[in-house]
Amino acid sequence: MATKIELETGGSVWKVLVKQGDQVEEGQTLFIMEVMKMEVPYDAPAAGTVTALNVSEGDVLEEDFVAAEID
């Protein structure tokens, strides 16, 4: 089952470190948000393939946005 990576807070996307289709390890950083001048990394909760990636650098997004899916 695909795991959804949802944003815990609103903010802007600072860096995207993976591409759709990439194989990722558990704990690997997928993308980094900037929230209140702090960089907040979002890490893969489990190993798998990035099946969806809905963030691009510079995007300003709201809380609960589904940023990526890993299967």
Partner 1 sequence: MSWEPEADEIKRRRALALEQGGADAVAKQHEKGRLTIRERVEGLLDPGTLDEVGVGAGASERGEDGELKSFSPANFVLGFGKIDGRRVIVGGEDFTMKGGSPSDAGLRKSVYTEQLAIQYRLPLIRLHEGAGGSVGGSGSGRPSLPAPVFATARFKSVAQVMATVPVATAAMGAVAGLPAGRLVASHFSVMSKSTAQVLTAGPAVVERAMGEKKTKEELGGAAVHTKNGTVDNASEDEPDALAQIRRFLSYLPDHVWELPPIGPQDDPVDRQEEALIDIVPRERRRAFDMRRALKLILDQDSFFEMGKGYGRSQITGLARLNGQAVGVWANDGKFLAGSMTADGAQKARRFMEMCQTFHLPIVSFVDEPGFMIGSKAEQEATIRHGANAVLTAALTTVPWASVMVRRSFGVAQAAHYGPEGYVLAWPSAESGPLPVEGGVAVAFHREIAAAEDPDAKRKELEEMLAKRQSPFPRAEAFSVHELIDPRETRPMLCRWVDRIQPLLPPLVGPSAFSVRP
Residues that bind partner 1 (CB under 8 A): 8-9, 34-41
Buried b (16+ CB within 10 A) or exposed e, 34-71: eeeeeeeebebeeebebeebebeeebebeeeeebbbbe
Q: Please state the closest distance from residue 41 (CB atom) to partner 1, in A.
A: 7
Q: Please state the closest distance from residue 67 (CB atom) to partner 1, in A.
A: 14
Q: Please state the closest distance from residue 34 (CB atom) to partner 1, in A.
A: 8
Inter-residue contact 46 to 53 (CB < 8 Å)? no
Q: Which is nearer to partner 1, 9 or 51 (CB)?
A: 9
